[in-house]
Amino acid sequence: MKWRKGTFMAHNAIELHSLGYSVHRKPFFNLQKSVSSLLLLRLQVKGNCRVSLNGRPYEVGPGDLIFSKPSETYQLTVDASPGKESADYYLFCEGEWIARWLAQGGFPDCVRIEVNDDILSLWRRLIDEKRNLREDNSELMDYLLKALCLTLERSIRRRAGHDASSDLYMPYRIKRYVEQHATEPLTLEEIAKQHGISVSSASHLFKKTFKLSIIRYAVEVRLAVAVERILHTELPLEHISESCGFRSYPYFCRAFRSRYRIPPSQYRTDHRASHA
């Protein structure tokens, strides 16, 4: 991993000094160092390595997120080879917003998170924008950096909640599952089985947390997807109904009218006319 000079000054007192995607295919070792004002975020995505923070060793594998906080010493050792590579995303940053975020978060030095597309796409977008030297993209990078930090924090909180109490975290797992699979055929039995609990427990925990049933939430997600397709595609309404997971077109029309007070055909006509 290279430490590069050059900074980006955000409009809200954030400096992104360097970031990138690092791949090691041979052994690597860096001298122990301390950067007085910088935060290092390092997410291992492939292979393994060893990290020392203030002399405390950590065995790091895929999904492990390192927080090397300002003034802490950091050392990285990678035992890689062409057939056993190690890869990570990293960034160095500082500023008032970063300092507040760290102070409020109380983050551990090393924590295992769920590596998902939300996190990786934000990190990749930041890397792309960093390479863009022809446009003033400082404000965009500011928002992207904050979004990445807050998305990492959400992943940490969810993992901590899952580890501490399955009942506390379970409704959020179910919610995310429904959001990811809402346009597919869904049953309470399938959802409960996927999460290793009974139908009654799944229904009770979800309704207690979100004040509506799982099936009702699935319908809400399906309707939101349908609205996007109604407004931004030329697909027939019957096709939209089927592709969004509704079991029949009449049921789709009833659910749509109940939610938006007008039928889907009128919704398409009215909203397109207002933007003409």
74-101 residue pLDDT tens: 999 999 888 889 999 999 999 999 998 9
Residue 218: per-residue pLDDT? 95
Kindly indicate the confidence band of residue 146, based on its pLDDT and cuts at 50, 70 and 90. very high
Q: What is the total residue count of the chain?
A: 276
Which three-class secondary structure state does DSSP give residue 8? strand
Model confidence at 137: pLDDT above 90: no
Closest listed residue to residue 46, CA positions, set 63, 58, 29, 59: 63
List of long-range contacts for 156-161, beta carbons under 8 Å, 24+ apart:
156/65, 156/105, 156/107, 156/111, 156/113, 158/114, 159/111, 159/112, 159/113, 159/114
Kindly indicate the confidence band of residue 274, based on its pLDDT and cuts at 50, 70 and 90. low
Q: How far apart are CA 35 and CA 183, in angstroms?
A: 48
Q: How far apart are CA 56 and CA 60, in angstroms?
A: 13
**H or E element: which one contains 160?**
helix 138-164
95-120 residue pLDDT tens: 999 998 988 877 888 988 888 889 99
- Exposed, middle or buried, 93 (CB in 10 Å: 0-12/13-18/19+)? buried
Residue 126: per-residue pLDDT? 95
Residue 136: per-residue pLDDT? 82
Model confidence at 2: pLDDT above 60: no
| Residues whose CB is less than 8 angstroms from the CB of residue 129 and which lie 6 or more positions away in sequence, other chains included | 137, 140, 141, 144
**H or E element: which one contains 149?**
helix 138-164
In whole numbers, what is the pLDDT of the chain averaged over residues? Answer: 87
148-197 residue pLDDT tens: 999 999 888 877 665 544 566 788 889 988 998 999 989 999 999 988 89
Model confidence at 11: pLDDT above 60: no
Cα atoms found within 13 Å of the Cα of residue 206, Cβ hemisphere only: 24
Which three-class secondary structure state does DSSP give residue 64? strand
Q: How far apart are CA 169 and CA 249, in angstroms?
A: 35
Token code pair at residue 48: 């393994």
User: Taking each helix axis from N to C terminus, what angle separates 214-232 and 199-210, rounded to the nearest 10 degrees?
Assistant: 70
User: Taking each helix axis from N to C terminus, what angle separates 138-164 and 96-105, rounded to the nearest 10 degrees?
Assistant: 0
Mean pLDDT, to the nearest integer, of 128-143?
A: 87
Residue 12: per-residue pLDDT? 53
Kindly indicate the confidence band of residue 9, based on its pLDDT and cuts at 50, 70 and 90. very low
Place of tokens 């799944």: 202
Mean pLDDT, to the nearest integer, of 263-276?
A: 82
For the chain, report the end-to-end CA distance as a whole number of angstroms. 52
